[in-house]
Amino acid sequence: MSERDATVSPRPAHGDSFRVRAAALLRADGERATEARLDVLDVLDDAGAHLNVAGIHRRVETRRPGTNLSTVYRTVDRLLELGLVHGLQAGVETAYGLSLADHHHVTCDGCGRTVSVTGADVAELLERLGELTGTRVRALDAHGLCAACRDSVRPRDA
Ligand SMILES: [Zn+2]
Ligand SMILES: [Zn+2]
């Protein structure tokens, strides 16, 4: 964050105030706070989850009928470049999440489902990882097999 962001509240806000905050972040980067960009950021904030482009488009379209899928693609690409959203590989698809909300990922390699985790326990874990590795750990991207996938797994190489 640059000094120009000093007036932006670090606390996640919702509704109109989120749009105002998102617009301020875009402008702090010298970017235009277009409706399309604010719509995508708003939708991801509302969903509180990672969505693929089709999912983002579906939600944007209920607010602004007639929005083009290609517009959403372009907008997401730009927001990725700006670091305001991040991509998560989920199988062949990429799901996108808001980078403004501090969270970490636990992804199932079987079904691709991602759970976002936050909280004091995670903060403590990151601190511990930092001590162990001498790295200031900013984000965690853990992988494994969820309960449902563990149940369906059969040993392949006997
Ligand atoms: Zn995420
Ligand atoms: Zn799974």
Could you give the domains of the chain?
Answer: 6-98 (1.10.10.10), 104-152 (3.30.1490.190)
How far apart are the C-alpha atoms of 25 and 30, rounded to whole Å? 9
For residue 152, report the distance from its CA to the centre of ligand 2, in Å. Answer: 9
The pLDDT score that the predictor gives to residue 154 is 65
* Residue that wins the pLDDT comparison between 1 and 141: 141
What's the chain's length in residues? Answer: 158
For residue 27, report the distance from its CA to the centre of ligand 1, in Å. Answer: 23
Residue 151 has pLDDT above 50, yes or no: yes
For residue 144, report the distance from its CA to the centre of ligand 1, in Å. Answer: 16
Residue 15 has pLDDT above 70, yes or no: no
Pairing of strands 104-108, 114-117: antiparallel
Write out pLDDT tens, residues 91-115.
Answer: 788 999 998 777 899 989 888 888 8
Residue 36 has pLDDT above 60, yes or no: yes
Average pLDDT over the chain, rounded to an integer: 85
**Stretch (H or E) spanning 87:** strand 85-90
For residue 21, report the distance from its CA to the centre of ligand 1, in Å. Answer: 19
Q: Which ligand does the CA of 118 lie closest to?
A: 1
First to last CA, the chain: 53
Q: Which ligand does the CA of 106 lie closest to?
A: 1
Residue 10 has pLDDT above 70, yes or no: no
Write out pLDDT tens, residues 41-94.
Answer: 999 999 888 999 999 999 999 999 999 999 999 999 999 999 899 998 877 889
The pLDDT score that the predictor gives to residue 116 is 87
